[in-house]
Amino acid sequence: MSTVMDSFSWLYGKPSCQGRIKVEPEDFVVKENLGFAFAGTGEHFMVKIRKTGENTKYVVNELAKACGVKSRDVSWAGLKDRHAVTEQWLSVHLPGKADPDLSAFEAEHPGVEVLETARHDKKLRPGDLVGNAFQLRLRDLDQPEEVIARLAQIREHGVPNYFGEQRFGHNGNNVTKARAWGNDEFRVRDKSKRSFYLSAARSWMFNQVLSARIENNTVRSVMAGDWLESEADPRGMLVATVTDSIQQDVDAGRLSITAPMMGDNALPTTADAQAFEMAIVEQEPALLKLIRDNRMRHERRPLLLKPEQVEWQHDGDTITVSFALPAGCFATAVVREMMQEIVDETEGTEHDAYSDQ
C-alpha cells in the first residue's frame, strides 16, 4: 500500500521486507520520560497513567470529571497514540484541594490504570518531556533477517529524522488543506486546525529538504554554508568553510547538520547550503506564503536521528525491538527504515507518536 511518505528517500534503500505492526495495542508500548523530578508540593496534582486503546484527550476529559474540574484544568506533556499501550503523566490544577480518590475512575475505565501520583508547583505543558521509550513488536515478517541487518545499521548510523505520516493527516490531507489555505481558497479560524495545517506545511518542507540531501549523498557531508548544532551548543554555528575537523565532528556525532523549519525570517544558512534549501522549498509557494503570512519563526532540525538503547529479540517471523527517542522525533521514522508495513485498506494509517505529542 502506498502512503504519503513514499515520496521521501530511504537512508538504506527501500526495505524489501514486509510485515505488520500494531496487530494488538500491546505491540506498541510507549513510556514517557519527563526528565525532571516533581517538587512534592504545589497546586498541581500529578497523575501517571497507563492507558490501553484509549485516546489521551478522552482520558483527560474523564479524569477532569473524576477530579471535579473542567477539562481545561488538566494538561499533559505529550499526546499519545490510541492504538497502543502508553504511560504518561497528566497534571490536574487543584489549588487548596486534597488529592482525590481515583479508585472509581479506574473502575469505570478498564483501559486506564493509575500508576502513581504526586504534587508539583507547575502544570505540565506540551513539550515538557525529554523523550519516550518504545517497545515495538513487528509481526508476520517475510524477511526478518533483513530487519535484523537494518537494525544493526540503525544502531550504528541512525535514521532520517523525518516527521511521520501522522503529521500530514490521512492521505496527506493536512498538507493539501495547507496549500489551499495558502492560496486563499478558504479561511481557517479554528485554532487547532490552524496549528495542524501550519505544522504540516513546515514539516513537509523539512522532509523534502532531508529527502533531497539523501538523494544527492550530502545527508552526512557538510556543505559550505550549512548550519550545524550540538547538544553542547544549541545556538548552532555557520560553516563558512568546510574543514576536515568539522566533517570529523559530524561523522563522530558531535555536530549535526540541520535543515529548515521554515519561518518568515531569513535562513541562517549561506552559500551552497542556502541555495540548496531554497531550491527545494520554493517548489511549495503556497506553503511558503502561508508560513510567512502567519509569522512563523524559523527553526532548525537535525537531518539524522540516532535512537538510543537499541535492542531486539528475534522469534521466527516476529522481532521485538526497543529504543528511546528524544522529544519531537517519530518512532515511525525508525520503523520505516526496517520494513514495509502491510496495512489493510480498511484500517487507515493512524499511527503513533512522535515523542512530544
Give the C-alpha distances (Å, rounded to integers) separating 140 from 1, 143, 313, 314. 16, 9, 14, 12
Catalytic site residue from 6, 27, 73, 81: 81
Please, is 108 exposed, middle or buried when counting C-beta atoms within 10 Å of its C-beta (0-12, 13-18, 19+)?
exposed
Is residue 81 annotated as part of the catalytic site, yes or no? yes
List the grid coordinates of 61.
476529559
**Would you please indicate which residues are annotated as catalytic (active-site) residues?**
81
